[in-house]
Structure 1
């Protein structure tokens, strides 16, 4: 349940009171506006999703009758599709030679970044997340700080690729593959860490009696392992189901889109109903589909990606537009100091440290590793997880009922501000850094 502070956002003109012709006109203009602002954003050197996010923020929920529950439902559909596509993009053949390093960044790097950023937010932020107060007793509960950090653990492949488009020829191809692989694999890692943090710090009871710390840890780990295992098993099963469906039912490429979407949504829904992690399942299915052989040569991972790409792009644009629509600009003001400080710490300390900590496993030189450390753009998954964080904060130990509303609002605002600043600052500077470092693709790449 979304806290009342968020659910009671002021409403303006309800869209269902407008004639259907007006609704169709509005939706058409809205999508045309996202196209125009995406084009403009790319021209000035920032990710297209940042422009879409700002467009939604400018329109705001005050003028649309959209509830947060409806938005959360749309987030589920969009995230399932985005992670399914991320799995499809993870070609094991393309990452040979740096697979251990890529996994270390995508798993260990996210865990390290979550712990470090969470600790720094805990040390810097006030209890309500509305002021910077280092070294005081009035600190944000550790569970809330780690939950915010867990939201920000995942990088965004779409944003990184969008920014690198203008300087792609200056970046070694295998470095591009590393960034795409890390951004794809760290999405499910961030989701799992978020669930683990929520389980460890959530109040629990057994037969009316509070569960001790050891019991909470065991229960959280049990739930964590159960969801991961279920997601992996069901995802793997649906990978073979997908190959069977494509081999037996696909007649031409025009059918691949509906087949891929159907598989992704059935996969997610089945896993969730069975108590597993649906987003892990769809990623696993996409990963297996990419590395499988099909009966007809024209039906392969490239043709499936090509069929799904337009809808995946639309889902990502809709996701960021909705995020912008649901955030009231005035609600960001109290969290601005902590949000800006968290963004600076994430970009200048946490991300570089979480990359350089695994340098011993890296086949890349220092310049390339520095470039990777500045490619930690945040996007859809952090924003989506911020809505889950809102729901979890009221159940965290150490959070008083009177402080839940303000803390939940500020936690979500902190994530939003960090994503906004991160996309703007790194989006503008990444191409310049690439040129300055003098990265040149080696011969044969």
Structure 2
């Protein structure tokens, strides 16, 4: 049996290994983490590590969903709201019952098959990492928004099904409808309350560390409040995240926002990798519990369930598009239409990931068919990540999407508009703060230079020094690297302390980031 510290070191090492190997082998990091977890499960001591089902719901899910909601553009979400709601609610129910029907045809009980359907119904847009970035911006945002909401629908369906199966109590249609309404409306109301309280806190807290500590508490508080009210914690977290995404830019300081982006990026990537590793280890144990004689039939079910997911998703998109065209013939609706090729790409991009496996593992011990549910869920997730992950780049090229320059053009236009506005405000603001003419002229000259860099940028989207003047940036980076080496040498000779090194190196790093290539837009 591995002690808790050993578990932390093992999982952390596998997460680092997966992140390091992913670019080399050109496999999504999440798939590598899952495979590493499965492989490590062959070690008997590692196989004894078990992931409590509640840990996923109260530790991993709030953090991952909150950051995903925080970085999802609300404007695009509103534009395609009807499609997103249909995909994240009705499609989840249709998919769950489609998988249940497939299982029943193969001899499964309806309850076990429906629990499996609820686990496999939600998509996971983050499961493939950089592959989804190849999609046009609108398609990628639809997938992300769909995966935010459909987790809540799947968890409600899972809770109802498991409750009926374990208690033997039958729910009427009105009772089920009431539970769904409570889950969505109650979760949404609690999410709004958490977002408002979080905004009030952030506006009154000026210390960067304290402000970001408060941000970390928001998703857990929203999830806890919703659970106490028997509403959907997932919906509460998503709504709170969307609210903070709108109010956050006006709250806090530049330092707190920089800290938040860095902290949450590291935390969410680490937790996502750890979740896949732990689920791989847990799935290894569950798969071993399945009798060998049942394996061929379960493998067949894995393939059939995977094919059913693809067929249901494609057919649902075609039918809903046809129905929307019948009821809405406005000219604006025609501009939102997508060709069938785009729907094929969306079907292939509908990966299953950590949430599906976590829901399968959350099935109570002793539930009839639990081991088989985990086995099939693991097999389907592996098929979506491996097969669909290999097909997606080919499908994107086959889809013949028009070059998507909307985001880069918007970035460039926004940079130009804000820079011109800032330049025009310099005289007024200089008089307000009492700056001397020499300082006023220097600031104005800097903004005029920034405006020239925007106009000279090679692709019209990147106004950074790196794109506008590569030679200047390269020399500047070389000088800063030499400066850093001299600084470290002074520390090694005991001429300065480690504290002085840390402070000055932070300033050098800021200059390096200003000159270097910008981070990709997600």
Instruction: Calculate the TM-score normalised by the size of structure 1.
Output: 0.78
Rg comparison, structure with higher value: 2
Number of the residue aligned with 1:182: 146
1:411 pairs with one of 373, 389, 394: 373
Number of the residue aligned with 2:309: 346
Number of the residue aligned with 1:358: 320
2:34 pairs with one of 23, 47, 53: 53
Aligned mates of 1:160, 1:420 — CA distance in 2: 12
Equivalent pairs, count: 386
CA contact (8 A) 2:212 2:256 kept: no
CA contact (8 A) 1:15 1:65 kept: no
Aligned mates of 2:201, 2:255 — CA distance in 1: 11
2:136 pairs with one of 172, 181, 187: 172
Equivalences for residues 32-43 of structure 1 within 5 A? 32-43=13-24
User: CA deviation digits over 1:75-114, x for unaligned, max 9?
Assistant: 5300121122232133221334322222222222222222
The answer as to 2:117 corresponding to 1:149 is: yes
Number of the residue aligned with 2:219: 264
User: CA deviation digits over 1:46-102, x for unaligned, max 9?
Assistant: 321111011111112731385646464255300121122232133221334322222
Number of the residue aligned with 2:58: 76
The answer as to 2:75 corresponding to 1:93 is: yes
Secondary structure, aligned partner of 1:64: helix
Aligned mates of 1:225, 1:15 — CA distance in 2: 44
The answer as to 2:241 corresponding to 1:283 is: no
CA contact (8 A) 2:51 2:279 kept: no
Aligned mates of 2:48, 2:181 — CA distance in 1: 36
CA 1:439–1:260: 2 relative to 1, 3 Å: same
Alpha-carbon shift at residue 157 of structure 1 (Å): 1.7
Equivalences for residues 185-334 of structure 1 within 5 A? 185-199=149-163, 203-204=167-168, 213=170, 215-252=171-208, 254-292=209-247, 294-296=250-252, 298=254, 304=260, 306-327=262-283, 328=285, 329-331=287-289, 334=295
Number of the residue aligned with 2:429: none
Alpha-carbon shift at residue 297 of structure 1 (Å): 6.9
Aligned mates of 1:200, 1:353 — CA distance in 2: 30
The answer as to 2:385 corresponding to 1:427 is: no
Aligned mates of 1:106, 1:219 — CA distance in 2: 21
Aligned mates of 1:172, 1:256 — CA distance in 2: 35
User: CA deviation digits over 1:272-317, x for unaligned, max 9?
Assistant: 2333332222122112212235345749999855542211111111
CA RMSD of aligned residues (A): 2.9
Aligned mates of 2:184, 2:75 — CA distance in 1: 24
CA 1:147–1:74: 2 relative to 1, 3 Å: closer
- Structure 2's unaligned 5+ residue stretches are 325-335, 408-522
- Structure 1's unaligned 5+ residue stretches are 1-12, 126-138, 206-212, 395-403
Aligned mates of 1:195, 1:425 — CA distance in 2: 30
CA 1:269–1:99: 2 relative to 1, 3 Å: closer
Aligned mates of 2:244, 2:256 — CA distance in 1: 8
1:14 pairs with one of 2, 7, 13: 2
CA contact (8 A) 1:257 1:308 kept: no
Aligned mates of 1:299, 1:285 — CA distance in 2: 22
Secondary structure, aligned partner of 2:127: helix
Aligned mates of 2:163, 2:13 — CA distance in 1: 42
Q: Pick the structure with more helix per residue.
A: 2
Aligned mates of 1:299, 1:146 — CA distance in 2: 48
User: CA deviation digits over 1:156-203, x for unaligned, max 9?
Assistant: 1212443234xx2xx322222222222222222222232343455554
Number of the residue aligned with 1:9: none
Task: Report 1 or 2 for greater relative contact order, CA contacts < 8 Å, sequence distance ≥ 6.
Answer: 1
CA contact (8 A) 2:56 2:358 kept: no
Alpha-carbon shift at residue 143 of structure 1 (Å): 2.0
Alpha-carbon shift at residue 223 of structure 1 (Å): 3.4
CA contact (8 A) 1:379 1:419 kept: yes
CA contact (8 A) 1:271 1:281 kept: yes
CA contact (8 A) 2:53 2:362 kept: no
Alpha-carbon shift at residue 43 of structure 1 (Å): 3.9
Instruction: Calculate the TM-score normalised by the size of structure 2.
Output: 0.67
CA 1:202–1:368: 2 relative to 1, 3 Å: same
The answer as to 2:64 corresponding to 1:108 is: no
